[in-house]
Amino acid sequence: MSIEISGVNKNFGDFVALEGIDLSIPTGQLTALLGPSGGGKSTLLRIIAGLEDADSGRVEIEGVDATRLPAQKRNVGFVFQHYAAFKHMTVARNIAFGLEIRKRPKAEIAAKVDEMLELVHLGQFRDRLPSQLSGGQRQRMALARALAIEPTVLLLDEPFGALDAKVRKELRDWLRRLHDEVHVTTVFVTHDQEEALEVADSIVVINDGRIEQVGSPDELYDSPATDFVLSFLGPVTQLGGLQLRPHDIDVALEPLPGAVPGRISRSTRIGFEVRLEVTPTEGQQPPVQVTVTRAEARGLHLQHGDEVWLTPTAGAQAIRPANAPASTLDGAATHGYSVTHVSG
Ligand SMILES: Nc1ncnc2c1ncn2[C@@H]1O[C@H](COP(=O)(O)OP(=O)(O)OP(=O)(O)O)[C@@H](O)[C@H]1O
């Protein structure tokens, strides 16, 4: 394990920012700290970096007790949402900076800067000033500067948070590819579940200063340990006592055995998908949220007011959070596990 955090607590005055954090972050992986604003993600990242001291607990980086080590002795690379570049220095000098203060030989610095510029695809901008770069290019420069010192761990605090949606998406794909090339142990903070699910090898969900769950994107998405993780990772809806993701529901225009009958009470098109709200016509069940592709909606001529029959998609995951009340989730609590495979 590359980073071992044990028993970390942090208060700001009376406010408990982190409570009893135990976490192992594996070497060479891309790990996301995911959670809502104010949950404690940045505080934990800053404690790993040495920019903040824990009140109690221990931080180990690659077998070395780093708890009392100052930030500059931890060999971590850090990138913030708003990168503080040296405005008067060129891109190349900004990247060289960390090596210059470490008094590396000139030839080594020059070679490293070239390597980094190529890695982040900024070769043609080497002589520009940071103000002459786009926001996305500036964040790539920030990553190059952080990586130039060959850090043991790379820590990123919402690195793409200030960029528009399209650039964010491009940079997150780029970060994934970059990490596949460089393999440096990377921890990044995000409140965007899509970003974490798409990019990370492993996700740590943090809420209210505590870890809710640690797992791969698939484990978290399909087997959420708590109601919080379940709803934070994406929408969920209830169909005949099962909790399902809205895209795991099939819509038919005729009755099927076991299907839940309902009427389309709302239909909203968002890009290539159509979100339906179907109000069950039997029993006192709450409206069911269903997501279909635009092609499916067109093929079935789905309209507001239509009568439809809903079934879980063949092979869909019926999600049962482990702590859900047994009454609504037939028997889940006694098994203590959280996923059932529903066969068609
Ligand atoms: N220096 C500080 N003094 C007092 N309170 C602080 C300080 N730093 C953080 N906090 C509080 O600790 C809590 C956790 O903050 P933190 O920045 O770790 O959350 P976060 O999960 O990263 O949220 P965000 O995504 O909004 O940055 C917040 O309620 C914040 O107000």
CATH number of the domain where residue 246 is located: 2.40.50.140
Does an H or E element contain 213, and which?
Answer: strand 210-215
Give the end of a domain, one of 227, 259, 275: 227
Ligand 1 atom with least separation from CA of 206: 21
Q: Is 149 exposed, middle or buried (0-12, 13-18, 19+ CB in 10 A)?
A: middle
| pLDDT given at position 1 | 60
| pLDDT given at position 271 | 87
Residues 33 and 134 in one domain: yes
Number of domains composing the chain: 2
CA–CA distance, 235 with 267 (Å, rounded to integer): 16
Please tell me what DSSP assigns to residue 258.
Answer: T
Query: Is the Cβ–Cβ distance between 264 and 278 less than 8 Å?
Result: yes
* Residues of the chain with confidence (pLDDT) below 70: 1, 83, 318-344
Residues 202 and 242 in one domain: no
Residues 42 and 88 in one domain: yes
Q: What angle do CA 238, 38, 164 make, to 5 degrees?
A: 80
Ligand 1 atom with least separation from CA of 43: 18
Query: Is the Cβ–Cβ distance between 317 and 342 less than 8 Å?
Result: yes
Residues 146 and 26 in one domain: yes
CA–CA distance, 315 with 168 (Å, rounded to integer): 32
CA-closest candidate to residue 128, choices 88, 80, 73, 76: 88
Site to probe by mutation for ligand 1, drawn from 41, 51, 52, 55 as the one with most ligand atoms within 8 Å of Cβ, is 41
Residues 87 and 218 in one domain: yes
| pLDDT given at position 293 | 94
Q: Check which CATH number belongs to the domain holding 199 and give it.
A: 3.40.50.300
| pLDDT given at position 174 | 83
Residues 58 and 115 in one domain: yes
Site to probe by mutation for ligand 1, drawn from 9, 11, 15 as the one with most ligand atoms within 8 Å of Cβ, is 15
Pairing assessment for the beta strands 30-34 and 15-25 based on DSSP bridges: unpaired
Find out whether the beta carbon of 46 lies less than 6 Å from any atom of ligand 1: no
| pLDDT given at position 324 | 54
Residues 118 and 265 in one domain: no
Three-class secondary structure of residue 344 per DSSP: coil
Residues 45 and 129 in one domain: yes
Give the end of a domain, one of 227, 261, 280: 227
CA–CA distance, 175 with 166 (Å, rounded to integer): 14
Residues 11 and 101 in one domain: yes
- Taking only the tens place, the pLDDT of each residue in 231-284 is 899 888 999 888 888 999 999 999 999 899 999 999 999 888 999 999 999 888
| pLDDT given at position 244 | 87
- Taking only the tens place, the pLDDT of each residue in 107-151 is 999 999 999 998 888 999 999 999 999 888 998 899 899 999 989
| pLDDT given at position 343 | 33
Range of the domain at 257: 235-341
Residues 211 and 260 in one domain: no
Please tell me what DSSP assigns to residue 342.
Answer: P
Give the end of a domain, one of 175, 203, 227: 227
Residues 239 and 325 in one domain: yes
Site to probe by mutation for ligand 1, drawn from 11, 12, 19, 52 as the one with most ligand atoms within 8 Å of Cβ, is 12
Residues 69 and 189 in one domain: yes
